[in-house]
A = this chain, B = another copy of it.
Amino acid sequence: MSERIEVESDSHSYPVLLENGLRYSFYHLLEDILPDHTKLMIIADETAASYYLEDLLASFPDSAKPVVTILPSGETSKSMVQYERLLTECLQEGLDRKSVIAALGGGVAGDIAGFTAATYMRGIRYVQIPTTLLAHDSSVGGKTGINHPLGKNMIGAFHAPSAVLYDPEMLISLPEKEWRSGFAEVIKHAFISSPEFFVWLQNHVHKLSSVDPSTLEKMLKKSIETKVAVVQEDEREAGVRAHLNFGHTLGHAIEAELGYGKTTHGEAVAVGMIFAMRLSEKFYGIKLPIEETVKYLEKLGYYLKLQKQVNAEKLLFIMKRDKKASGGSMRFVLLPELGRAELVDIREEMVLDLLEEEELT
């Protein structure tokens, strides 16, 4: 089975292809999609490379083997040092303006490879070959970047890929914590766009390490379609794209405070989503299925008590820095109802009160 989702970006449209075993025909797909390209450089996450690089390379004829460079696994690779090294390799390998970069790996490989492509010779094309569940989210939409010691993703560019080539079979090698990390974004897409999708997930996904292939494909398709709908409407995050930050305001603060890579992104986001739901209940005076969500997430192995380990005032400070609070209020993505998100200005004290409550429970 195979799925194709077309994405319109500001500068061009590109396909997201979902297909089991797609990695074996990578060479032909690339020739089809970018027939005029010159050199290809694959920037491969070390772990992903150990599983799948050979499969990808086997699809190339001997006369057209690509250049390959390996990126150490982990968030610390999204650094200025690695970025500079990749640019140097592009130059040493003679990549020109018609060359293509392919990112094999998760969000880290996609982000730094995309940023390298965005800024090499003022921008060359790149394709994403996501190998994690989390990357179903990050590979679509054209956000690229690296981290700065003072903040995550602070250096970057909007640069849409020329294709996202997603082979769900590659997800089977993922450790369970990586499933949890990615699944948080799937749930997020359900929460901000479709209560039915949340029900479907509860009915079909009971254990993250053993999602059957057809469920996985449906889930990926639905989740990617939500992301695509949002980024097509607002590629540069002037409006609704901010809704995708649901759960991320606190999530990022937790990650920053614990140190990037010490928790998974998704686990921090899961905690952030529960928090944003509680805040939504307070702010709008409504009821959301929080207990049900907590139960579901805990059944799937999420550890939701992360936030208790970190000081409420510290978290507020980090969130304010990121979200440029003005005059005692800060911006938060909340849910006026399940399936619909809204960006609202919320008083700092309300946020702090709730953070402090959570610390104690």
Chain A interface residues toward B at CB < 8 A: 10-11, 38, 80, 84, 87-88, 91-92, 94, 96-97, 115, 118-123, 143-145, 148, 150-151, 153-158, 236-237, 321, 324
Contact = CB atoms under 8 A, between A and B. Distances in A.
Contact of A120 (B92, B144, B155): B155
A151 B91 contact: yes
Contacts of A80: 80, 84
Contacts of A120: 154-155
Contacts of A96: 324
A143 B119 CA distance: 11
A61 B120 CA distance: 40
Contacts of A115: 119
Closest CB pairs A-B (n = 3): A91-B150, A96-B324, A122-B156
> What DSSP secondary structure best describes chain A's contact surface?
mixed
A122 B150 contact: no
A146 B195 CA distance: 48
A168 B258 CA distance: 53
Indicate the member of A11, A144, A145, A157 with the most B CB atoms within 10 Å.
A157
5 contacts: A38-B324, A88-B148, A118-B157, A119-B157, A121-B154
Given A157-B157, A324-B96, A87 B148 contact: yes
A157 B91 contact: no
Contacts of A38: 324
Contacts of A10: 10-11
Contacts of A236: 123
A87 B122 contact: no
Contacts of A150: 88, 91-92
